[in-house]
Homo-oligomer: A and B are copies of this chain.
Amino acid sequence: MSKNAELIAVGTEIILGDIVNTHSQYLSQKLAQLGINVFYHTSVGDNPARLRFVIEQAVGRSDIVILSGGLGPTEDDLTKETVCEVLGLPLHQDAEALRRMSAFFERIGREMTDNNIKQSMVPDGAVIFQNDRGTAPGMAVEKDGKVVLLLPGPPSELVPMFEEQAYPYLSGFSDAVLVSRSFRVFGVGESLAEVKLGAMLAGENPTAALYAKQSEVLVRLTAKADTEEKAAEMLQPVVDELYSILGDTVYGEDVGSLEEVVVPLLREKGLKVATAESCTGGLLAQKITSIPGSSEVFECGVVSYANRIKHELLHVPQELLERYGAVSEQVAAAMAEGVLRLSGADIGVGITGIAGPGGGSEEKPVGTVYISVASKMGETQTKRFRLGYGRKNEREQIRMASAMNALDMVRRLLL
């Protein structure tokens, strides 16, 4: 039988709305991988009575309770003490936790206080998750068939502690393993992807889930089995089917963005790219150069907002600017070819469009964007896009979709 879990985030800053509770999402995803059901998320402030109430209720109704926060050195931090009260467990000092805490303070060059020593107290019989990134150790206690985990609040401490120590510990309570693979899809909208994938989305094991991301789609395939190997094996035919349906609109597996795929592709082929941007204002160059090592593949970028710059720097003929306007197929191509010549790169990209809110016309409404890719390998390709939906405040979305389409055009050129 699957175990049921619930999550409790402790901290007045959460219920005041000063911070958003991201742990509940993170931990829910991880527990789903383990095949452990999560039924409730609760957030409660640093108040002894309410905290005790929430813990008692959770221990009463769930097999596994995971608390985050409230393990700090101050008087407000009560999670551990309250859990021990509810479960009737005495506390003792953990020598290893104290040693690590001393070493931590030495490393950051600060003095350890008596309050910190309170953090090294642990319940009898607890499994300790040592903390190399902060002062509070995490821990797990078992009592009367219930399992309670205590994790530190800062994400920089909770996440690695969970990955390295709590996840392996919890896998002992799971009777199934979930294996997931995520695929990024560009150039197919969410609704169309839904229609195309059809029956796959109704599958129960493996399951397929579709998520709309900014201007792209994420497909997550998940199989559940006794072992990781079996789950992976069940997954493979669905992955093959996904590729046969969506083809090269699937641009990567377990990657975060198009630039994470395009930069290594350029490096592999030993090619360099240069950019000439108008409406995206440097966003494309910024995306490419966000990838470490991009200096090997990125030559130069020009943000030519003014027509004069398009002409003087990129040598876009004045005649084209006058005859077709700055936002036109002809100017996009001249920008791509201009920056290719200027930079000596192998591929040149030109983007010109209307990001709004102003500047649209009936013929060329806000969201009209021309993207051109010129290269030493073949003819210049230029496409017209209609991005945005005519809603308010779409400037950033239009700029982002423009940069992504440019990256996808480069990717397709390289394939």
Interfacial residues, chain A to chain B (CB-CB below 8 A): 9, 14-22, 24-32, 38-45, 47, 50, 54, 209, 211, 275, 277, 280-286, 288-290, 292-295, 298-306, 308-309, 313, 342-344, 356-358, 395-396, 399
Q: Is the beta-carbon distance between B15 and A40 smaller than 8 angstroms?
A: yes
B contact residues around A281 at 8 Å (CB) = 285-286, 288-290, 294, 298, 301
Bound CA span A289–B343, Å: 23
Give A39 Cβ to nearest chain B Cβ, in Å: 6
Bound CA span A358–B296, Å: 12
7 contacts between A and B (CB under 8 A): A14-B28, A21-B25, A39-B47, A41-B44, A281-B285, A299-B305, A302-B303
B contact residues around A16 at 8 Å (CB) = 28-29, 32, 38
Q: Is the beta-carbon distance between A38 and B20 smaller than 8 angstroms?
A: no
Q: Is the beta-carbon distance between B21 and A17 smaller than 8 angstroms?
A: no
B contact residues around A30 at 8 Å (CB) = 17
Give A231 Cβ to nearest chain B Cβ, in Å: 18
Bound CA span A343–B30, Å: 52
Give A270 Cβ to nearest chain B Cβ, in Å: 15
B contact residues around A26 at 8 Å (CB) = 17
Q: Is the beta-carbon distance between A300 and B305 smaller than 8 angstroms?
A: yes
* Closest B residue by C-beta to A9: B41
9 closest A-B pairs by beta carbon, nearest first, are: A281-B289, A17-B28, A282-B282, A301-B303, A282-B285, A17-B29, A41-B43, A282-B286, A300-B309
Known: A285-B303, A301-B281, A357-B292. Contact between A42 and B40, CB under 8 A? yes
Give A185 Cβ to nearest chain B Cβ, in Å: 17
B contact residues around A21 at 8 Å (CB) = 20-21, 24-25, 41
B contact residues around A298 at 8 Å (CB) = 281, 303, 305
Known: A282-B286, A313-B313. Contact between A39 and B44, CB under 8 A? yes
B contact residues around A303 at 8 Å (CB) = 275, 282, 285, 289, 298, 300-303
Q: Is the beta-carbon distance between B25 and A38 smaller than 8 angstroms?
A: no
* Closest B residue by C-beta to A302: B302
* Closest B residue by C-beta to A43: B41
Bound CA span A260–B315, Å: 32
Q: Is the beta-carbon distance between B40 and A28 smaller than 8 angstroms?
A: no
Bound CA span A265–B122, Å: 56
Which of B25, B40, B43, B293 lies in contact with A17, CB distance below 8 A?
B25
B contact residues around A292 at 8 Å (CB) = 356-358, 395
Bound CA span A86–B275, Å: 61
Bound CA span A45–B37, Å: 11
Known: A20-B20, A29-B17, A356-B292. Contact between A300 and B301, CB under 8 A? no
Q: Is the beta-carbon distance between A309 and B24 smaller than 8 angstroms?
A: no
Given contact pairs A40-B42, A282-B301, a sample of 6 additional A-B residue pairs in the complex whose CB atoms are under 8 Å apart: A14-B24, A285-B285, A292-B356, A295-B306, A300-B309, A301-B305
B contact residues around A42 at 8 Å (CB) = 40-43
Bound CA span A66–B87, Å: 32
Q: Is the beta-carbon distance between B50 and A39 smaller than 8 angstroms?
A: yes
Bound CA span A29–B298, Å: 44
* Closest B residue by C-beta to A357: B292
Bound CA span A9–B7, Å: 14
